Amino acid sequence: PKYDKPYFYYIKNLIKNLFRIEPKINITKNNLLVLTVSSKELCEFIHKKFNLPYGNKIKNKIKIPTQIIKDKILIKACLRGLIDTDGFIGKSNNRLKIIFTSYNKGLLRQVALLNRNLGFSDKYYKNNNIEICSKYKIISYLNTIGSSNIRHIIRFKEMLNNNKLLYKEEVLGYYSKYSNLKLPCYGSVV
């Protein structure tokens, strides 16, 4: 979808700068964005360095690598990436929430544990979600973990400052207002 293009281009440029590989962004017939990185060398590097299996992250029950779990800076970057890609900031039952969704139960348990280790209480649900609720917890989370997904940042800022919940499609109209944000965005989120 159009509203995720800025995030996809951010990730594309990040990969290009880190690994000197040119990812491709495609739109499927279902109007989904897909970022493809074609590099056997990068896959082998990630597999060897982090012991991550090749293939589907759900079927292979992928877990956060030990090297990341042992490093507080990498933990924060990992959590930021997970929320940016498989999470969202919004309202549910009239409450402001960050919700992370995964069908990988082991990964959900790891994320919940890492959140608690960083001082963030969350709610772990059997329906494949972890939620961080309340405006103050979310402000603290975003100030500590940050976000690189401009859509999340815009939705949160508009809810916080203007009490306005933007639908995903509405976010497009706000990109120019927030075009000067430096990513990843931390304390300046609020």
Sheet holding 123-125, edge to edge: 87-92, 95-101, 129-133, 123-125
Look at residues 131, 130, 157, 129 and name the one whose alpha carbon lies nearest to residue 143. 157
Q: Cβ(148)–Cβ(80) under 8 Å?
A: yes
Phi, psi of 106 (to 5 degrees): -65, -40
Instruction: Assign domain 63-189 to its CATH architecture.
Output: Roll (3.10)
Q: Where in the chain is the domain with CATH 3.10.28.10?
A: 63-189
Look at residues 170, 176, 177, 190 and name the one whose alpha carbon lies nearest to residue 2. 170
Residues facing residue 88 across a β-bridge: 99
pTM (2 d.p.): 0.89
Residues facing residue 131 across a β-bridge: 99, 123
Residues contacting 66, CB < 8 A, separation 6+: 51
At 135 the three-state DSSP class reads helix
Q: Give the chain's count of helices (H) and strands (E).
A: 7, 6
Using CB atoms within 10 Å of the CB of residue 26, give its burial: 0 to 12 exposed, 13 to 18 middle, 19+ buried: exposed
pLDDT tens track for 124-181: 777 899 999 888 898 999 999 999 999 999 988 888 888 888 887 888 899 999 888 8
pLDDT tens track for 73-100: 999 999 999 999 999 888 777 778 899 9
Using CB atoms within 10 Å of the CB of residue 140, give its burial: 0 to 12 exposed, 13 to 18 middle, 19+ buried: middle
Q: What's the pLDDT band for 187 if we cut at 50, 70, 90?
A: low
Distance CA 94, CA 124 (A): 19
